[in-house]
Structure 1
Amino acid sequence: MSDQEIAVEKKLNALPEVTGDGDIEIKRCDNPYKKWYTVSGKTNYHIPSWWNGTSYKDGPGGTIVVEVLKSGKIGIELSGNVSAEAGVILAKAKTEFGIKVVAEAGVTVGHKYSRDIRKGYYGHMQYGSWGYKTNWTKYETSADRCGKKKLGSGTAKLPTKEVGWRYWETRT
């Protein structure tokens, strides 16, 4: 994105949010018509791989020993109430937060791990990407070009190349 495009987007982000088409009266602003995304609220998030050989439970007590048995890929996961462009949200997150997220992370066979389980508890292991979760919102310039209209919003789970095991314990 060029410096000029970034400047236009910053100006549009500062517009007031309106419902409907905005104030369609005599008033007219000179802002360009555009659709754009914002991202906010980055948190660390373990994005699990859901295929066979990457999720285990053992116990109660003892030691859990796990290994990745199948290779695969962990990709961006989007949810929301309108369609969204994963590549655009990925680029926004990289720019906004300065994080090293990727479109997909590869998982290879063989990553072994063991962990002692507390007495009376069950140990759970899930393989995945140590990525991020963020919120996204899609906007467009209002009909009068004086405000922004929210088109929809959702969440994005963005993987990094850092993959590994997540461990937790439960009583059952």
Structure 2
Amino acid sequence: MITPTAALAEEGPDPAPEAICSGGWRNNVYGYKAAHMGKGPIYKDGPGGWIEVSKTSSETAKTTVSGSAGVSVSFAVAEAKAEISRESTTEVSWGTEHKFRRAIKSGMYGNTQHGSWGHNANWEKYYELPNCAKSQRTTGTVKIANNYIGFRYWETTY
């Protein structure tokens, strides 16, 4: 007599379900990394002392997508809003009044540039097969602007 347990052991484990993915074209934005999207001139002062910038020109930083076929700017911004920052936007503008002052280490040069504190990321567009494999994959990069703006500062030896 074969018990129900023995019968299952003879048949083996349940096979994996087929067609678990729906298939079709998919877009994805991933690998977000915070980045400053500088616009306008880079101000430099030194060596040593202070760097002070009290006025910048009006600028606009825009979300950009590289590559000829892939995800749209609006899709990239929507994904970024959902995954990393509600402040992600297709473009951000700023006016002229923003003051920045910083001490520069002795012997060094201070550099600063105004811009948007956004993100760099990667995008992919692919066809998803019913077995979940990716086919016809295209990739590129995206720079996502953010409503947070300000100065980026760094020091150099020249």
Pairwise TM-score range, normalised by the shorter structure: 0.7 to 0.9
Instruction: Compare CA radii of gyration and give the structure with the larger one.
Output: 2
Q: Which runs of 5+ in 2 are unaligned?
A: 1-18
Q: Does 1:102 find its partner at 2:92?
A: no
Q: Does 1:136 find its partner at 2:123?
A: yes
Q: Does 1:163 find its partner at 2:141?
A: no
Q: Does 1:86 find its partner at 2:73?
A: yes
> Which residue is equivalent to 1:115?
102
Taking a change above 3 Å as real, the CA distance of residues 136 and 120 of structure 1, as seen in their structure-2 partners, is: same
Q: How does 1:5-16 map to 2 (within 5 A)?
A: none
The answer on whether the counterparts of 1:82 and 1:151 sit within 8 Å (CA) in structure 2 is no
TM, length-normalised to structure 2: 0.76
Taking a change above 3 Å as real, the CA distance of residues 98 and 162 of structure 1, as seen in their structure-2 partners, is: closer
The alpha-carbon deviation at position 59 of structure 1 amounts to: 1.0
1:159 match: secondary structure: strand
The match for 2:36 among 35, 43, 46 is 46
> Which residue is equivalent to 1:55?
42
Q: Percent identity?
A: 33
2:96 match: secondary structure: coil
2:114 match: secondary structure: strand
The alpha-carbon deviation at position 83 of structure 1 amounts to: 4.5
The alpha-carbon deviation at position 97 of structure 1 amounts to: 3.5
**Cα distance in 2 between the residues matched to 1:75 and 1:102:** 8
Number of equivalences: 140
The match for 1:153 among 132, 136, 139 is 139
> Which residue is equivalent to 2:11?
none
The amino acid across from 1:104 in the alignment is: E
The answer on whether the counterparts of 2:70 and 2:139 sit within 8 Å (CA) in structure 1 is no
The answer on whether the counterparts of 2:43 and 2:112 sit within 8 Å (CA) in structure 1 is yes
**Cα distance in 2 between the residues matched to 1:162 and 1:48:** 12
**Cα distance in 2 between the residues matched to 1:38 and 1:67:** 40
> Which residue is equivalent to 1:14?
none
2:76 match: secondary structure: helix
1:119 match: secondary structure: coil
The amino acid across from 2:61 in the alignment is: I
Q: Does 1:76 find its partner at 2:63?
A: yes
Larger mean CA deviation between 75-84 and 38-47 belongs to 75-84
The alpha-carbon deviation at position 119 of structure 1 amounts to: 1.0
Q: Which runs of 5+ in 1 are unaligned?
A: 1-28
> Which residue is equivalent to 1:5?
none
The CA RMSD over aligned residues, in Å, is: 2.3
